[in-house]
Amino acid sequence: MINNKTKYTQLIKTEAKRLGFLSCGISKAEFLEQEAPRLEAWLNKNMHGEMRYMENHFDKRLDPTLLVEGSKSVVSLLLNYYPEEVQLEDTYKLSKYAYGTDYHFVIKDKLKELLYVIQEEIGEVNGRAFVDSAPVLDKAWAAKSGLGWIGKHSNLLSQKTGSFYFIAELIIDLELEYDTPTTDHCGSCTACIDACPTQAITEPYVVNGSKCISYFTIELKENIPTEFKGEFDDWMFGCDVCQDVCPWNRFSKSHNEPLFNPHPELLSMTKKDWDEITEDTFRKVFKKSAVKRTKFTGLQRNIKFLKD
């Protein structure tokens, strides 16, 4: 006879698949012992730059029971965003995750539905949905629940699907069956380290966030340091270099989430189009996109930095 734990675990994984998630893994909600010294060392070396929010809620980042009272399980989910078509070859580039509708909205809706189904089918289950918006170490939880390993570029990697996906969590007060971590398959490969335009991957598995192109083009509100002139490889919002060169991404398949499809104009825009972009075009092309985070003025700053 199937016990409740097995039944509930199967229900959650089946529903996650129905909602379009790439995969679902579950781990016990407990203190992330191995991550604590790593996170502390990273912060002490100031590798988070101006991202001061990374210093907040240190304990909550490592202990999900402080985020959701009585929590027993962390349900980790992956959602594919690899596009069918990419931008033109010789243009200013933006990270593939930002092509379509802002992922926060898309995933939050799916997580709410998943939690609703859990409560409908199982009964009173308390929990919270997290999409990159609270002090949760997404990649650590996904790795702990067997969805992949953390690669030398510090992104989660899976043998079947590479790394072009979003990670999200449901933290709930329900005991489930837990998955086990997978093994590291980076081997002796250093493709990501060798290809990083700004040498932000300082050693295998360590990324200096304050040297990353994504940090400069999205997080940094001041002027981009002139010492990085000519190093950005035409990236105006985010950067995919470490993922593009990773051998495991040869297995990436395009997503089937219509909301992640780009505005038709986006893929055909040339450098000249970007140079002359107006605020109206910006609003139209990036109506519900994550690119709005950098605002029109921020994108203009980034393009000017690439051009000058």
For residues 73 and 76, give the distance between their C-alpha atoms in angstroms, rounded to a whole number. Answer: 9
Q: Is 234 exposed, middle or buried (0-12, 13-18, 19+ CB in 10 A)?
A: middle
Q: Is the dihedral of CA 190, 191, 196, 197 positive or negative?
A: positive
131 sits in the region (left: phi over 0; alpha: psi -120 to 50; else beta) called: beta
Q: Tell me how far apart the alpha carbons of residues 58 and 40 are, in angstroms, rounded to a whole number.
A: 9
Pairing status of strand 206-207 against strand 201-203: antiparallel
Strands 93-94 and 235-237, by their bridges, are parallel
The DSSP secondary-structure symbol of 140 reads H
Q: Rounded CA gap, 270 and 37, in Å?
A: 45
First-to-last C-alpha distance (Å) of the chain: 69
Q: Which of 63, 109, 132, 234 is an active site residue? A: 132
Give yes or no: 132 in active site.
Answer: yes
Residues 6+ apart with CB under 8 A from 134: 60, 67, 128
Beta strands in the chain, from DSSP E residues, in sequence order:
23-28, 73-80, 93-94, 127-130, 149-150, 156-157, 165-172, 201-203, 206-207, 235-237
How many helices (H) and strands (E) are present in the chain, helices listed first? 11, 10
Q: Which residues carry out catalysis?
A: 132
